[in-house]
Amino acid sequence: MDDPRDMRLSLFKGGPLYKALLRARLMDLERADVWRAAVLAIAVTWVPLAVLSLVQGLLAGDAVQVPFLLAIKAHVRFLIALPILILAEPIVDERWSLASNHFVRSNMVSEDEIPRFRDIVARARRMRDSRLAELLLFLASLAGIMVGPALDLPASITSWQYGTVGGLTAAGWWNILVGLTLFHFLLLRWLWRLLVWTLFLWRVSRLRLHLYPVHADYAGGIGFLGMEQSSLKILVFAQSCVLSASFAQRMIYYEGVQHAALFAVAVLYIVLCLFVVFGPLLTFSRALFAVKYDQVHAYSLMVSEYSRHFAGKWIDGQAYEKAAILGTGDIQTLAALDTTLEIIRKMHPFPFTLRQVLGLVIVALGPMLPLVLIEIPIEELLGMLFKALF
């Protein structure tokens, strides 16, 4: 029998694309079976590019300045980032599903608010299953390749995309019409799911939640959100790989990149990632701040009252009235109250930790570190390190 309080929200087990893949037995998130879909994505993007480049003599050699085997960005996009967009779905879906149900299982949502919570879950599922939404995402991915830069390298550089005779090669056309369209569609689909999740959290934050000021997570009991949201680091890593590959290609094959420009883009990317990953959790900040403010005052009054009784009993020799306040009038209870008050004072209005933020920053910067080796040879770096240490 189903648990009536089990209201898990799955944002990936639905929608036209998922249902089509499920019918074709290419994906089943119930069993975390997504490998076939990931292999298929590579088979319809990277493999045709390699075959078409081979047929046209652009796979390797010096027929063009940048043959396909040296196309850094294409390899990273279709062999690393694209599979991650697919393989990450069951991971994030499970984390978000547990997080959504935690509100009810932990009794943060009171019984009288259960119908509203159930309605919020239903609205999110309807947005997830929207055919119109996925159609617009697909059209947006097509529009993106029409108005945006479709080539990984400028047309002035002969490559597997733009041959010596001018115009796009067969691989170049496939990359634009199939590869980039699919990649952008899956990326936009992720952003749509993230928007639905953000709206879900915002609506939940408007409920009368039972937040626990003395909870050990110092976030009123919703610190689990920061942990579950950190599962998005895998997507940050994927996009960071693509960004790094784009810079590497630019550095190696043409004009290069100034250090200041690279630093500025890296900082902007990190800020954007922090906003996308942890920004949705800020919807709870107002409630957390209000709980902390109220409870600090309430517990301060309690500690003051207990301290008065404690001093009266042990110093002034007055009779202790048990009914006046919780406890037995001993020093252990006073210490416990002080500890409780200290926990409330340490409560922060953000349901995520500095460690989680730093973890995201490290993941975002990791794929960019090899760019340093392109600009500065490893021997020179080791020499600089040796001089700095000795």
Span 22-52, pLDDT tens digits: 888 888 877 767 899 999 999 999 999 999 9
Q: What is the pLDDT of residue 3?
A: 52
Banded pLDDT at 331 (limits 50, 70, 90):
low
Q: Taking residues 118-147, report their average pLDDT.
A: 91
Burial class (CB in 10 A: 0-12, 13-18, 19+), 180: buried
C-beta of residue 288 within 8 angstroms of C-beta of residue 209 = no
**pLDDT: which is higher, 252 or 283:** 283
Q: Taking residues 5-17, report their average pLDDT.
A: 85
Q: Please check the confidence at residue 235 and state whether its pLDDT lies above 80.
A: yes
Query: What are the Cα distances from residue 341, in Å, to 296, 346, 349, 365?
Result: 7, 9, 16, 39
Span 40-89, pLDDT tens digits: 999 999 999 999 999 998 899 888 888 899 999 999 999 999 999 999 99
Q: What is the pLDDT of residue 274?
A: 96
Average pLDDT of the chain is 84
Q: What is the pLDDT of residue 248?
A: 86
Q: Taking residues 374-388, report their average pLDDT.
A: 65
Q: Please check the confidence at residue 125 and state whether its pLDDT lies above 90.
A: yes
Query: What are the Cα distances from residue 265, in Å, to 44, 153, 260, 272, 381?
Result: 31, 19, 9, 10, 23
Span 152-207, pLDDT tens digits: 777 678 888 887 666 788 998 999 999 999 999 999 999 999 999 999 999 999 99
Which residue in the block uniquely carries the two structure tokens 């945006």?
148
Q: What is the pLDDT of residue 2?
A: 47
Q: Please check the confidence at residue 130 and state whether its pLDDT lies above 90.
A: yes
Q: What is the pLDDT of residue 249?
A: 85
Q: What is the pLDDT of residue 219?
A: 86
Banded pLDDT at 344 (limits 50, 70, 90):
confident
C-beta of residue 66 within 8 angstroms of C-beta of residue 235 = no
Q: What is the pLDDT of residue 323?
A: 41
- What percent of the chain stands above pLDDT 90? 48
Q: Please check the confidence at residue 321 and state whether its pLDDT lies above 70.
A: no
Q: What is the pLDDT of residue 147?
A: 63
Query: What are the Cα distances from residue 178, in Å, to 80, 241, 303, 328, 377?
Result: 17, 21, 67, 74, 37
Q: Please check the confidence at residue 95 and state whether its pLDDT lies above 90.
A: yes
Q: CB-side exposure of 324: number of CA atoms within 13 Å?
A: 17
Q: Taking residues 317-332, report their average pLDDT.
A: 53
Q: What is the pLDDT of residue 55?
A: 92
Q: What is the pLDDT of residue 326?
A: 47
